[in-house]
């Protein structure tokens, strides 16, 4: 499976909000755009998706910006990726057994099922807090982190 730019940039967007979560103040899109080198326009599109999923809120006004709706330890990467990507199935027959008439005898479908399960389990086992710990370790020069 290849994740889209939406997921890669969306995780970086939420990571920035997570790293600022303890301050309890909104973060401007412009700041995130500059730090992450992602266009402000694209971030605003991601913000709409993440806001509609209830992951973030926008705060209007001079001291406005975006904040997480939940603590970083409560936000699973699976929830984020599903919000940004939609269906995570590798092939259509994984979720729809009527898609192909060979489902009952198809050996490759078992591989796709197993791969999809491992992918979802990995994302489901990690939180935004875990990602923050990895980022903080890298910024401090500790490049090893075990998942």
Report yes or no on 144 lying in a domain: no
Q: Is 75 inside any structural domain?
A: yes
Over residues 52-65, the pLDDT tens digits come to 999 999 999 887 89
- Split into its structural domains, the chain has a count of 1
- Residue 144 reports pLDDT greater than 70: no
pTM to 2 decimal places: 0.87
Does residue 37 form part of some domain?
yes
pLDDT surpassing 90 at residue 24: no
Exposed/middle/buried for 37, CB within 10 Å: 0-12, 13-18, 19+?
exposed
Answer whether residue 132 is part of any domain. yes
At residue 100, the 3 state secondary structure works out as coil
The CATH number covering residue 130 comes to: 1.10.10.10
Q: Is residue 145 part of a domain?
A: no
Q: Which domain holds residue 22?
A: 5-139
Asked if the model's pLDDT at residue 105 lies above 70, the reply is yes
Specify if 125 maps to a domain: yes
Per-residue confidence band for 87, with pLDDT thresholds at 50, 70 and 90? confident
């Amino acid at each position: 499976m290849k994740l889209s730019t939406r997921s890669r940039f969306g995780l970086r967007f939420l990571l920035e909000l997570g790293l600022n979560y303890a301050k309890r103040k909104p973060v401007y899109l412009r700041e995130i755009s500059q730090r992450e080198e992602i266009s402000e326009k694209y971030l605003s599109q991601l913000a709409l998706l993440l806001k509609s999923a209830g992951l973030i809120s926008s705060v209007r006004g001079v001291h406005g910006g975006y904040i997480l709706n939940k603590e970083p330890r409560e936000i699973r990467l699976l929830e984020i990726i599903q919000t940004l990507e939609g269906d995570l199935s590798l092939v259509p027959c994984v979720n729809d057994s009527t898609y192909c008439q060979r489902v009952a005898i198809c050996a490759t479908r078992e591989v796709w099922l197993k791969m999809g399960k491992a992918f979802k389990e990995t994302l489901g086992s990690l939180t935004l807090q875990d990602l923050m710990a990895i980022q903080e370790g890298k910024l401090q020069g500790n490049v090893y982190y075990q998942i």
